[in-house]
Amino acid sequence: MAKGRIRARLRRSNFYTFGCLRPATTEDVPHPLQGPGYSRTVCCNQPHLHEKRPLHYCKNDISTTKYNVITFFPKALFEQFRRVANIYFLLAACLSASPISPFSPLSMIAPLAFVVGLSMAKEALEDSRRFLQDVKVNRRKVYHHKGNGVFGPRSWQNIMVGDVVKVEKDKFFPADLLLLASSYEDGICYVETMNLDGETNLKVKRSLEPTLSLDNDESFKDFTATIRCEDPNPNLYTFVGNFEYERQIYPLDPSQVLLRDSKLRNTDYIYGVVIFTGHDSKVMQNATRSPSKRSTVEKKMDYIIYTLFTVLILISVISSIGFMIKTKYQTTEWWYIRPDNIEYQYDPHKVGVAGMSHLITALILYGYLIPISLYVSIEVVKVLQATFINQDIQMYDDETGTPADARTSNLNEELGQVDTILSDKTGTLTCNQMDFLKCSIAGIAYGVRASEVELAAAKQMASDIDDLDSDLSNFPLPKTKKQVSLKNVKRSEEIELETVVTSKGDEDQRYAIKGFGFEDDRLMNGNWLREPNADVILLFFRILAVCHTAIPEVNEETGNFTYEAESPDEGSFLVAVREFGFEFCKRTQSSIFVRERVSESEQVVEREYKLLNLLDFTSKRKRMSVIVRDEEGKIFLLCKGADSIIFDRLSKNGKMYLEPTTRHLNDYGEAGLRTLALAYRRLDEQEYSAWNNEFQKAKATVGADRDSMLERVSELMEKELILVGATAVEDKLQKGVPQCIDKLAQAGLKIWVLTGDKMETAINIGFACSLLRQGMKQICISTNSDSGSNDVKKFFYSTPQAIKDDILNQITNASQMIKLEKDPHAAFALIIDGKTLTYALENDMKHQFLGLGVDCASVICCRVSPKQKALVTRLVKEGTGKTTLAIGDGANDVGMIQEADIGVGISGVEGMQAVMASDFSIAQFRFLERLLVVHGHWCYKRIAQMICYFFYKNIAFGLTIFYFEAFTGFSGQSVYDDWYMILFNVVLTSLPVISLGVFEQDVPSEVCLQFPALYQQGPKNLFFDWYRILGWMGNGVYSSLIIFFLTITIFYDQAFRVDGQTADMAAVGTTMFTCIIWAVNCQIALTMSHFTWIQHLFVWGSISTWYVFLVLYGMLSPVYSKNAYQLLVEALGPAPIYWSATLLVTITCNLPYLAHISFQRCFNPMDHHIIQEIKYYKKDIEDQHMWTRERSKARQETKIGFTARVEAKIRQLKGKLQKKQSSLTCMSPS
């Protein structure tokens, strides 16, 4: 606490000119809170008043589950009976209780109950995980005022509206709070809102003046107050209310409100009163309900079942018509039916009744066309697939010990059909760590260490260098002594990739000093004093050491200073300048102290800079300035900011280093670094005094014009600047992010970034991730209201309709520009902010916006709210009709995660809200590559092939029942024993199809990653389109015809046993069933590309099981085995015709498929066929050049990722080389 009290002497609110709050004065007018939407009343520190209505508000516990105890059964049953096949089997189970059913009720009800029950149990298990994580959040502790000035721990779920809570440093706020006081005497606190808007910059909040004295536990003993404010709503950036305290009313605004799931930073503690709890809090108001998601394959499966229903009804109607004809005209001739006691279903005088009764019988009898076991088999397969995803060691994060987690297995195959990825930025792509990497001072570039983007691009350049050299060899060069080579061109272009390619540095290397990745001996250890512009370098270092709002703290263990800064950038600047010999060591209300090492003697001098004014950074100003007086009495304005802003404010003699600095900034941007320009201005005493009088007047102004007056006065000072240099900071991406994005782009996936961060930051990360690159045309859609330089322009842009028209005009012009672009290599990037997005998402404009976004190579949406993230996701999902995947790590990403077809949560450091709402969770963004390109590809093909095969085998089996019924006069008689029919789907064909769905691999995982274009088989739906589905159905029809008619032909009117007996129905039916078992199991063996001992065991074991069953079943008493008694041992086994028929039918059934795949592989092979043959013949080992060439072809043409960046550079090099070759040709003698 001592350290906290020392800091408390610093009134940090004085630092901020534009920052947290206007000055509190007696002229502040309370908000007129009348009408709907402003009915909430909060009685502070009086919890008993909120225990009953009308002041009883919702509890503070939250739930992200899909079900609860009451809704589980109705909702889960509804989910199960959304599947049309289940509805059919429910009706069939009900009808099976009638006397006309060909099967017993138990045989129909039991399978349905098993399938539905298993699926519901899986749903319950997956939802219970969400429930347990909800419990973990709800049981977090916070200090709560018990009464009499005593605070004690209480669970979040028990916090009520009106409670006073104490939140300590680095803890999350349990609800939406009104800030009353903090550990700083002026009520300032710092809040990290990364979970809400994705920003890592700390927000400054400040309490009202009247509550500043409530800065200890005892002061709340008799505290009471009343808050009247707006009702719960999802607007994160607005709040309207009044605070009634000690007979005074004070207006409230967002700067006093601390939102749930924000984190307290750089402040020891705060006191706050709860305004909104639980699902009333703004973060939960932005959440959407857990949706019930179904994969595209499963939805399409419904249409297949509709088709089979149509076939089922058709053949049932045909059967019934045939039965009616038989009944009407032939029943009278059937002497074995007693005319005096005929049953109603055979009565020729009641043909209609007979037909209807037979229709019901037929619908149940032919039910094997609709595979009830398909659903349970798919459930089993998906659970096993999810298990393999969870246990994939390649997606295990060693640092955190976190594996991948398939939280729902319903969407496994959807992973293989993703078209668009919508990603958060902060915490998802980046890890919130800034490293000072390079700088430009006096027009000279310093810093030789490569950024992650340069390393990634260099690796790609190195891998492509051989192909490029072979391509360049096609250009005829003149026979001159001066030889032109690629390396010469590279050197002439000052490309640093050559050194990067040869470096052995590990891209994951952790720098020895956190925040400092700089490497250049020219500036280190005082060597900068020997540089030609040492005076400019000195000024550069002093600007970094003085121009900031950070607070130094001594680390008691190491004795070094650490810095509490508003942004990670500022912290990295101070760490860097400390390493250069300028250590910021102390701050008072009016001074900044820096320990400077400005001589080669290593002597340290502590200098004091009087802080006269601080013009802080805002997203609108895009710059920060301080006015200081040094020890010699000179007054300087030191400024740092966005290069475009600084360059516009340079004096004529301040542009000496403008050209080289601009070139360096472009290089830094290409390397994916965040840049700032540094400048200064020398002021004389009289000029400063006059300006300061104006500034203080503007600062003391109360009213709506205060900010604009301050901005105008600041503009007067921040001009005529002299450029010093620029900084380049690497926003540390998560490990492997550039490579992952590059691979996903090569797989043909589109990537949209949706972030709450400001536009400049998002653009920098876009460059770092290679979503943006130099040469890519950026289309920035924005409202022009802020850019209006005069009142007339602002007036015209002030109406909503005018703003909408302007935005629509920008979108239309951009779309037209893309269409008219003739360069095939041209790439466009769309960048839009949240304010503009509000208009762009309206119904009359959203489709134009979507069309523009789809035409662009990458899309970045900045300053978006959680609700807007969800709306953009919905627009892409519904507008394109293609599969979307959303990935994020914070509570602000929950909406889009739930809205997307697939939601992926990053189980990072900041909370678990995204994970709780997700379908899959991974520890790092880079694992998304393997999740999609490997597991997604495999799961899609496995499920697609499995479903197609399932329909094939059930059609092949089910239609034989129809053929036999037609063959026997539509009698309703089945040719198969009841036990055969029960075992067909449950035992004899179930395990091979499960092994297909779990273990099948068209290519190994490493080949999937080497040939990312294979992934496009999923989005193009090559394995589950109607052509393939109908082809498999046709194969089933063909097999059924062969099985039935060939078997009947072989056995009809021919001697079957040695003594000349012909086959009876049991022998024919068993032979036919044997043929089915062999045909369908051999078919699945032909379908498989990858065999393990498990597949062999299941396929050949299933066939063997049939014979074992037939022997054991035949050994039972005839009471149980009936006509199958000793059938195999005594009748079928000794008969050669049985074995020859089985062999002939099996070969004939599978011959067309074998011919088809042979023809396809020879004349129209698919991508994976070629790869399989290369691997089989080991061409990848014997002919490495061919393997590399095939790999280079096996990626989708893309305009994002470092591969696209390298290709653009290679095109540039080729162009330069051709020009140089042309010039040499002209110079050479003829």
The pLDDT score that the predictor gives to residue 876 is 93
Q: What is the mean pLDDT of residues 127-137?
A: 84
Of the two residues 753 and 426, the one the predictor is more confident about is 753
Distance CA 1062, CA 1064 (A): 7
The pLDDT score that the predictor gives to residue 107 is 66
pLDDT digits (tens, 9 = 90+) for 1005-1056: 888 888 888 888 888 888 888 899 999 999 999 999 999 999 988 888 777 7
Q: What is the mean pLDDT of the chain?
A: 80
pLDDT digits (tens, 9 = 90+) for 269-288: 999 999 999 888 888 887 66
pLDDT digits (tens, 9 = 90+) for 1040-1049: 999 999 998 8
Task: Please check whether residue 410 is in contact with residue 381, taking contact to mean a CB–CB distance below 8 angstroms.
Answer: no
The pLDDT score that the predictor gives to residue 875 is 92
pLDDT for 145 beyond 50: yes
pLDDT digits (tens, 9 = 90+) for 925-977: 889 999 999 999 999 999 999 999 988 998 898 888 888 888 887 777 778 88
Across the strands, what pairs with 607?
594
The pLDDT score that the predictor gives to residue 714 is 86
DSSP conformation class of 1136: H
Q: Which two tokens stand for residue 577?
A: 């300048």
Distance CA 234, CA 865 (A): 9
Catalytic residue among 127, 261, 424, 616: 424
In which band, very low, low, confident or very high, does the pLDDT at 1 lie, cut at 50, 70 and 90? very low
Comparing 168-182, 365-379, 654-668, 731-745, the range with the smallest average pLDDT is 365-379
pLDDT for 487 beyond 60: no
pLDDT for 567 beyond 50: yes
The pLDDT score that the predictor gives to residue 152 is 92
Angle at 736 between CA 735 and CA 739, to 5 degrees: 160
Nearest CA to 598 out of 631, 568, 566 is that of 631
Task: Please check whether residue 934 is in contact with residue 915, taking contact to mean a CB–CB distance below 8 angstroms.
Answer: no
The pLDDT score that the predictor gives to residue 312 is 84
pLDDT digits (tens, 9 = 90+) for 804-820: 888 888 889 988 888 88
Q: What is the mean pLDDT of residues 1062-1071?
A: 84
Nearest CA to 891 out of 8, 47, 89, 133 is that of 133
Q: What is the mean pLDDT of residues 41-49?
A: 86
Cis-peptide into 54, omega within 30 deg: yes
Of the two residues 512 and 890, the one the predictor is more confident about is 890
Distance CA 859, CA 752 (A): 5
Q: In this structure, how many other beta carbons lie within 10 angstroms of the beta carbon of residue 157?
A: 18
Q: Which residue has the tokens 């965040």?
A: 674
Distance CA 363, CA 90 (A): 13
pLDDT digits (tens, 9 = 90+) for 874-925: 999 999 989 999 998 877 788 888 889 999 988 765 556 678 778 898 988 8
pLDDT for 1087 beyond 80: yes
In which band, very low, low, confident or very high, does the pLDDT at 492 lie, cut at 50, 70 and 90? very low
Length of the chain measured in residues: 1230
User: How do beta strands 635-641 and 263-265 pair?
Assistant: unpaired
pLDDT digits (tens, 9 = 90+) for 459-481: 656 655 544 454 444 444 443 33
Q: Which residue has the tokens 């092939």?
A: 945
What's the pTM? Answer: 0.73
1053 included as an active-site residue: no
Task: Please check whether residue 735 is in contact with residue 741, taking contact to mean a CB–CB distance below 8 angstroms.
Answer: no
Reported for 1001-1006, long-range contacts at CB under 8 A and 24+ positions apart, including other chains, are 1001/938, 1001/1089, 1001/1090, 1002/938, 1002/941, 1002/1089, 1002/1090, 1002/1168, 1002/1172, 1003/1168, 1003/1171, 1003/1172, 1003/1175, 1004/1175, 1005/394, 1005/930, 1005/934
The pLDDT score that the predictor gives to residue 506 is 43
Distance CA 246, CA 567 (A): 38
**What is the number of helices (H) and of strands (E) in the chain?**
42, 33
Q: Which residue has the tokens 């055979």?
A: 346
Share of the chain above pLDDT 70, in %: 82
Comparing 2-6, 471-475, 695-699, 1142-1146, the range with the smallest average pLDDT is 2-6
Task: Please check whether residue 1024 is in contact with residue 944, taking contact to mean a CB–CB distance below 8 angstroms.
Answer: yes
Distance CA 1210, CA 193 (A): 42
Distance CA 1115, CA 1095 (A): 30
Task: Please check whether residue 228 is in contact with residue 40, taking contact to mean a CB–CB distance below 8 angstroms.
Answer: yes
The pLDDT score that the predictor gives to residue 758 is 67
Task: Please check whether residue 643 is in contact with residue 622, taking contact to mean a CB–CB distance below 8 angstroms.
Answer: no
Q: What is the mean pLDDT of residues 708-726?
A: 88
pLDDT digits (tens, 9 = 90+) for 366-381: 777 777 778 778 888 9
pLDDT digits (tens, 9 = 90+) for 304-314: 888 888 888 88
The pLDDT score that the predictor gives to residue 336 is 64
Residues 6+ apart with CB under 8 A from 883: 296, 414, 417, 418, 419, 420, 901, 902, 1019
The pLDDT score that the predictor gives to residue 468 is 47
Share of the chain above pLDDT 90, in %: 18
The pLDDT score that the predictor gives to residue 1034 is 92
Angle at 1197 between CA 1191 and CA 1201, to 5 degrees: 90
pLDDT for 486 beyond 70: no
